[in-house]
Amino acid sequence: MKQFFFGLLTAAAIAGVLALSRSESVGARAPADSSELKIESGDKNPWTSLKLNNDADQFTFAVVSDRTGGHRDKIFSQAVARVNLLQPQFVMSVGDLIEGYTTKEETIKTQWDEFDGYVKKFEMPFFYTPGNHDLTNKTMVTRWGERYGKRYYSFTYKGVLFLSLCSENPPNMGTIDAEQQQWIAKTAEANKDAKWTFVFLHKPIWTDKDLEKNGWAAVEKALAGRKYTVFCGHVHRYQKFERNGAEYYQLATTGGGSRLRGVEYGEFDHVAWITMKKDKPLIANVLLDGILPHDLKVPESEEKGVPQKRKPTFPVSGRVTVGGAPLVGATVTLHAFNTDTEKYSAVADGKTDATGRFEVTTYTKFDGAPAGEYAVTVTKTDAVPAAFTSPTTTSLKLRIHETPNTLTLDLPAK
């Protein structure tokens, strides 16, 4: 009997037994292919189709985000065990793998030894990408080179090009240097037939004002005309950008310092899960808490976090209106003035809900702000007069007392 393939099913085949082995000669049968789906099909069947989601060109990979910047106990190490449950082909990263920010040789070695101990437990390849915590100074750059060699590199898999870039080149942090720019252009040209390109780097340097100066303009020039997707970290807050017809993803955290206010704020621990289909990638954000083994017990870990130095905080809430109407989805930020640097720095923020109300967070979800004086900004694209969007021009001031603090802001219409 002839073997019927599911992509070419006929009405006659549906009534019979699918995937029967083909006779090689009279009286002889070839061994059955055990990898094929075998099922008896009738006039009516309890399934939607028999077209399997198993294209030979399809594959999956995961991307882990920032682990450090005030990392928390047991998150990244347990993320390794959780990703192993999902079994991607490989795992990418976007930097800030160790706390760094030191020139002490022993500290650097200890931190990398610890991290390497975690990623060696992946049951699939793990690809390093450096962040500012990993390449803070020349000493750390040297140690990276001794352990891992290249700071930027590429590879291809099933017709897809992967570029792992280095956006940290001390003392010029947040830049793609000239040598790397040339390498990117040559690599892109050498792989001009790639059906898709994935780019990984640490910082979202496309948000800077001068893209020619920081080198990102050269990167986008090299990628022009290609189908590509970019992943970065650094900010510890999930955000999606669209540039030049491509999607750019700023990931949240995989154990790094975070206020953990949830999906609404883009503050959560996750891995990005990418399924590369024949013509485009599908991207899912998988929250770590949603990945559990069969016994619901995540393996124990001895990974210790970095304690944060925290000032006492006091509740801060309020409501924002524009011309009397609630301002929805705006960010209210409290800025403190540093007399040493003579600059403002953001200390706490909150987002307005459907009624214009907000609660402020400094360290953990809705914990308020430390006592002191603040300049208050309100930002939402094209909805707020420009004067209120910068701490140097805003007329909104607030003094936080050691009691619950309420702030009512009625801004003029733009």
Place of tokens 């021009």: 393
| Tokens 């509740």, located at residue | 315
In this structure, of 16-30, 125-139, 204-218, the range with the lowest mean pLDDT score is 16-30
**Residue-averaged pLDDT of the chain:** 92
Residues above pLDDT 90, as percent of the chain:
88
On the question of a cis peptide bond just before residue 125, with omega within 30 degrees of 0, the verdict is no
- List, by residue range, all CATH 3.60.21.10 domains of the chain: 59-290
pLDDT tens figures, 7-22: 333 333 333 343 433 3
* Closest to 377 measured CA to CA, from 356, 355, 395: 395
Q: What is the DSSP letter of 205?
A: G
What is the pLDDT confidence band of residue 32, given thresholds at 50, 70 and 90?
Answer: low
* Residue range 322-364, pLDDT digits in tens: 989 999 999 999 999 999 899 999 999 999 999 999 999 999 9
What's the pLDDT at 354?
A: 96
Give the ranges where 168-215 is alpha helix by DSSP (H).
Answer: 178-190, 211-214
CB 313 within 8 A of CB 368: yes
Helices and strands (H, E) in the chain, number of each type: 7, 22
pLDDT at 131: 98
Asked: is 316-411 a CATH 3.30.565.10 domain? The reply is no
- CATH 2.60.40.1120 in the chain is located at 316-411
Rg (CA), the chain: 26
Angle between helices 75-86 and 105-119 (to 10 degrees): 30
**How would you list the strands of the sheet with 372-379, edge to edge?**
343-351, 331-338, 372-379, 397-400
**Span 219-228, mean pLDDT?**
98
Q: Over 60: is that where the pLDDT of 6 sits?
A: no
Structure tokens at 266: 């883009």
Write out pLDDT tens, residues 299-329.
999 999 998 889 999 999 999 999 899 999 9
CA gap 86, 316 in Å, rounded = 41
Higher pLDDT, 74 or 12: 74
Look at residue 287 and tell me whether its pLDDT is greater than 50: yes
Please state which architecture CATH assigns to domain 59-290: 4-Layer Sandwich (3.60)
31: confidence class by pLDDT, cuts 50, 70, 90: low
Backbone CA torsion sign across 22, 25, 27, 31: negative
pLDDT at position 189, please?
A: 98
Q: What is the pLDDT of residue 281?
A: 98
Q: pLDDT tens, 101-123?
A: 999 999 999 999 999 999 999 99
